[in-house]
Structure 1
Amino acid sequence: MNVAQAFDADEVIRVGQLEIRYLQPSGRGNHMGAFELCVPPGSNVPPPHSHDNEELIYVLEGTLRFTVGAETRDLRVGDSMTTPTGVAHAFSNPYEVMAKALVINTPEISADYFREMAALINGGGPPDKARMMETMKRFGLTPIAPAPAPAVAAAAG
């Protein structure tokens, strides 16, 4: 059993335009993690990815577009969606108001992941994509490569 540790409940981790605030102490090996995720309208969001944990997202404010596998839904206040381990998913906020969600992971994704990504993304200049991929991999996340563009047949002439 993990005993609650002292932590800074007011710490907001800013990764680009996104804000993450953990609701409990975070550390490797926790069986469950919980954080608030704030997504401004039209903000840059992570590419589709999967990870080594299960995830539940529950919308507290606004509307969040969430895709799990082939299913895309607009989640409004009180709506939720789960992501099984290893399934590709993505989110966005194409609306005009801030979206806020409660995110629960089991096992947790350490706050250290978001701190490291924040340092890479917020550091000024283009982020080092190789280091971002290495960080994702180290914390159990796998980016999903975009599908190749369909081939266009040459016109007969």
Structure 2
Amino acid sequence: MLDKASQVRANPADETISHGGLAVRFLLTGDQSNGSIAAFELTVAGSQRLPAPAHSHDHYEETMYGIEGVLTLTVDGHRHDIGPSQALCIPRGAVHRFDNDTAETAKVLCVVTPAAIGPDYFREAFAIFSTGGPPDRARLMDLMRRFGLTPAPPPPQV
């Protein structure tokens, strides 16, 4: 039997899942942290908008730490530009989304506590987005709900 110290290693997940201008590189999943934390790098190409709707989650916090470029997060209607060495904690229940409004690639470290979301969510989401046409909204909404994300209603049309 292996002792716990021999099972500890840097970046035990080390898997990248990508689609279009988005890439998610998992560093640590709930399976490797007894469910306490998940950590992944999110890379967003310049001028890339999040294809999923704004959402909230009631079972975990999500903290983003800027590594390079600038990612704009909209949290409960307020815009926050997150650049290198800046962090933003998205509390449970806050409706949020992100976009890269610059021409430069942005990269942030995302930390989810507890680890309620992992690579399976992104594999399934990117499969929905890669059909060539508009994503199947019903499938996307079902996926989000299964993984604890609550899609926000679309903004009112003016």
Flag whether TM exceeds 0.5 (same fold).
Answer: yes
Q: Deviations over 1:82-105 (max 9, x none)?
A: 111111011111111100000000
Equivalent residue for 2:40, pick from 35, 59, 83: 35
Distance 1:17 1:111 in 2: 17
Give 1:4 shift.
5.6
**Residue 85 of structure 2 is aligned to residue 78 of structure 1:** yes
Q: Any stretches of 5+ residues in structure 1 without a counterpart?
A: 151-157
2:53 corresponds to? 47
Structure-1 residue corresponding to 2:23: 19
Residue 122 of structure 2 corresponds to 114
- Partners of 2:129 and 2:31 in 1: how far apart? 22
- 1:63 — aligned with what? 70
What TM-score do the two structures reach when normalised by structure 1? 0.84
CA RMSD of aligned residues (A): 2.3
- Cα distance in 2 for residues equivalent to 1:61 and 1:75: 9
Task: Please give the secondary structure, in 2, of the residue aligned with 1:148.
Answer: coil
Point out the structure with the larger helix share: 2
Contact 1:58 1:102 in 2 (8 A): yes
The number of equivalent residue pairs is: 148
Shift of 1:44: 2.9
Q: Which residue of 2 aligns with 1:104?
A: 111
State the identity as a percent. 39
Tell me what 1:153 maps to: none
**TM-score, normalised to structure 2's length?**
0.83
The structure with the largest alpha-carbon Rg is: 1
Question: Do 2:73 and 2:82's aligned partners in 1 also have CA atoms closer than 8 Å?
Answer: yes
Counterpart CA distance in 2 for 1:18 and 1:43 is: 8
Tell me if structure 2 keeps the 8 A contact 1:64–1:74.
Answer: yes
Contact 1:17–1:43 (CA<8 Å) still a contact in 2?
yes
Query: Hey, what does 2:138 align to over in structure 1?
Result: 130
Is the partner of 1:97 in helix, strand or coil?
A: coil
Q: 1:71 to 1:125 in 2, by over 3 A?
A: closer
Moved over 3 A (4+): 3-8, 25-29
SS in 2 for 1:81: strand
Query: Distance in 2 between the 1:23 and 1:38 partners?
Result: 13
